[in-house]
Amino acid sequence: MPQRKIIHIDCDCFYAAIEMRDDPRLAGKPLAVGGSADRRGVIATCNYEARAYGVRSAMSSRHALTLCPDLTIVKPRMDAYKEASKEIHTIFRDYTDLIEPLSLDEAYLDVSECSHFAGSATRIAQDIRRRVSNQLHITVSAGVAPNKFLAKIASDWRKPNGLFVITPDQVEAFVADLPVSKLHGVGKVTADKLGRLGIVSCADLRGWARLSLVREFGSFGERLWNLAHGIDERPVQNDSRRQSVSVENTYDTDLPDLASCLEKLPALLENLNGRIARIDTLYRPGKPFVKVKFHDFTQTTLEQAGAGKDLESYEQLLTQAFARGDKPVRLLGIGVRLHDLRSAHEQLQLFN
């Protein structure tokens, strides 16, 4: 098997970069893309000038303005971002068909079999960055490594507008110095537990036997052991399939009770049915679900197999979901899980 060569590409403050490109007057000023502070908006992304003030994505627009009173907040233009993303992916496809998009502005590329630049993943990444800059007038950061886990870490190493390469012979030493909080799948709770066990770095983690980690963390212990040794065999998957279709709405004022939530369902269901009508015929709608985010930003999702997708069924789901919090609601969403009919066809072919 040839040595795997994985590139992780991450656009630098993508939405904000597109806005600054299209309106140069915004460049060099604190800028965020998101909803209006007057309408309970949330920051989707921001440029580095805004980040210097502590502004971050998923922060309320109102709080962002308290941190940075000079912050300019513009509404998202998803059509422009999607068009830019398509252009970037067109560039990717000149090097490989093995592309796994993570979002509009982020993707893995497997260039193990690419013949460009004599197979040099580093030079391929350099060329991708050059072409994106020349054609789209925005910057991307890239990480090059033997696997996805390390490539993603590498792309963040010299952001913005950077390139970082981890060669196979550098993996051992590089991973040893990594904090365990950098490992894929390690959130705050797991990091805290690891810290209580005296495990701060991957070098500490390597001092534990695989079986001992499995006893402490279940099946994730196996994953931890592999990552601590720089092992990640996950393939770059270019066959992304939809899991669900949904609609949601954040309300300008909190919905105070269940009755006011139920009043919003018919409009949501109308929008959902419109989206369902437009999905590919290779998908079949399955379980319905509802999502409720309460005024304190806690949220719950409830789904039910075998339930209908009519208004009455969603009313029953919403009633149960609301009861889990029983407090004012800022966001409602409804949707359906999707069955991928291609999977069923592939299974039939396999067993035939």
In the chain, the domains with their CATH numbers are 1-166 (3.30.70.270), 171-228 (1.10.150.20), 244-346 (3.30.1490.100)
Residue 197, token pair as written in the block: 């066990």
Report DSSP state, residue 340: E
Task: For the chain, give the percent of residues with pLDDT over 70.
Answer: 95
Give 27-56 pLDDT, tens digit per residue: 999 999 999 888 788 999 999 999 999 999
Is the per-residue pLDDT at 126 higher than 60?
Answer: yes
For 20-172, strand residue ranges (E) read 31-34, 43-46, 72-74, 99-103, 106-110, 140-145, 163-165
Give 274-292 pLDDT, tens digit per residue: 888 877 677 888 999 999 9
Q: Which residues pair with 300 in a beta bridge?
A: 292
106 as an active site residue: the answer is yes
Unique residue bearing structure tokens 């490539």:
151
Report pLDDT for 144: 98
**Confidence at 239, pLDDT banded by 50, 70, 90:** low
Average pLDDT, the chain: 91
Report pLDDT for 343: 58
Q: Which whole number is the average pLDDT over 161-186?
A: 94
Backbone angles phi, psi at 255, to 5 degrees: -80, 115
Alpha carbons 143 and 9: distance in angstroms, whole number: 7
**Based on C-alpha coordinates, what's the Rg of the chain?**
23
Quick one: CA dihedral 64, 66, 71, 73, positive or negative? positive
Residue 211, token pair as written in the block: 């079986």
Query: Do β-strands 106-110 and 299-303 pair in parallel, antiparallel, or remain unpaired?
Result: unpaired
Is the per-residue pLDDT at 127 higher than 80?
Answer: yes
Q: Which whole number is the average pLDDT over 293-302?
A: 87
Query: Do β-strands 106-110 and 244-255 pair in parallel, antiparallel, or remain unpaired?
Result: unpaired
Report pLDDT for 76: 94
Q: Would you report the helix, strand and coil content of the chain in percent, each value rounded to 5? A: 45, 25, 30
To the nearest 10 degrees (0 to 180), the angle between helices 258-278 and 311-323 is: 130
In angstroms, how far is CA 257 from the centroid of its own chain?
32
* Cβ neighbourhood burial of 79 (10 Å; 0-12, 13-18, 19+): exposed
Q: Which whole number is the average pLDDT over 97-105?
A: 91
Identity of the amino acid at 113:
E
Unique residue bearing structure tokens 């590498």:
154
User: SS3 for 317?
Assistant: helix
Assess contact for 178 and 204: CB atoms under 8 A: no
Q: Which whole number is the average pLDDT over 333-342?
A: 87
Would the annotation count 257 as a binding residue?
Answer: no
Choose, from 19, 49, 83, 106, the residue flagged as catalytic: 106
pTM (two decimals): 0.71
Assess contact for 64 and 47: CB atoms under 8 A: no
**Confidence at 1, pLDDT banded by 50, 70, 90:** low
Alpha carbons 243 and 262: distance in angstroms, whole number: 26
End-to-end CA gap in the chain: 30
Number of H helices, E strands in the chain: 14, 12
Would the annotation count 239 as a binding residue?
Answer: no
* C-alpha pair distances (Å), 233 with each of 3, 34, 180, 318, 334: 12, 37, 19, 41, 36
For 114-159, strand residue ranges (E) read 140-145
